[in-house]
Amino acid sequence: MITVGVCGAAGRMGREVVATICSAEDTKLVAAVDRTAVGVDAGDIAGCGTYGVQIRSDLGEALLATKPEVMVDFSVPSAVKANALTALNAGVRLVIGTTGLAEADLRELDGAARANKTAVFVAPNFAIGAVLMMEFAQRAAKYLPDVEIIELHHEQKVDSPSGTAMLTAQRVGAARRAAGLVSTPMPNELKFNAAGARGACEPGTGDVPVHSVRLPGFVAHQEVIFGAPGQILTIRHDSLNRTSFMPGVLLAVRKVINLPVGLTVGLDAIM
């Protein structure tokens, strides 16, 4: 039985994680942390019935009191690094689904995990289909160099572009460069009627333009569109509800127990 704590337990993703951990046969929820709903039973918040674990506001105190083997973080970008360092410094294995961590942040978490002889796993997307989408896009980039990405998420997602889009763009750009291909240059006379009209395009995105949509009704969706003379290839993944991420979260919780010390990135690394 793997004992698990959830940070961000009252959020939309956190509630799904709590319900999943409570219902799985080999995991046990021992801690739930959030800034809201403090003192409320985490199972009641998640809609899976009273579980006997109340939501706490202080992560450090929760880890000290309950000593989970694994902590899952689905909090917010502004808090995730501090949460992660608190868990790693306590020697707790960590699964991070919160996006917004920069490369420098990941290096810092890797160092903290190594210093405390524990493991940290980070995935920008826990949907198995999204991982396959990235893999297929990476393969296509070896043959079709002209590509742009459109990612669409709900209106409350605070980071843009999404972590999934950033990782996809980086991998597509790397595959394109490895194949010795370059994209078709934009026309010199191209006029932008609004700044960034062609989408974010910089070394951090692998020089692949990324467009972000934030609207009510969406959950998490991404299209990778390749263009070539006489043909278009579109690779699309849609998460229609948050249950789509839960098999990947459970896989990460089970695998992080035996991951090597330090940082591991991407669900494909443990599939």
Active site residues: 153, 157
> Can you tell me the distance from the alpha carbon of 89 to that of 94, in angstroms, rounded to the nearest whole number?
11
Q: Residue 125 contacts by C-beta under 8 Å, 6 or more apart in sequence?
A: 131, 163, 164, 167, 220, 245, 248, 267
Query: What is the DSSP track for 86-139?
Result: HHHHTT-EEEE------HHHHHHHHHHHHHTT-EEEE-S---HHHHHHHHHHHH
Instruction: Please report where in the chains the tokens 């991407």 appear, as a residue.
Output: 266
Question: Residue 53: helix, strand or coil by DSSP?
Answer: coil
Buried b (16+ CB within 10 A) or exposed e, 228-265: eeeeeeebebbbeebebbbebbbbbbbbbeebeebbbb
Tokens of 240: 């229609």
Are the CB atoms for 17 and 6 separated by under 8 Å?
yes
* Residue closest to 20 by CA, chosen among 46, 54, 53: 46
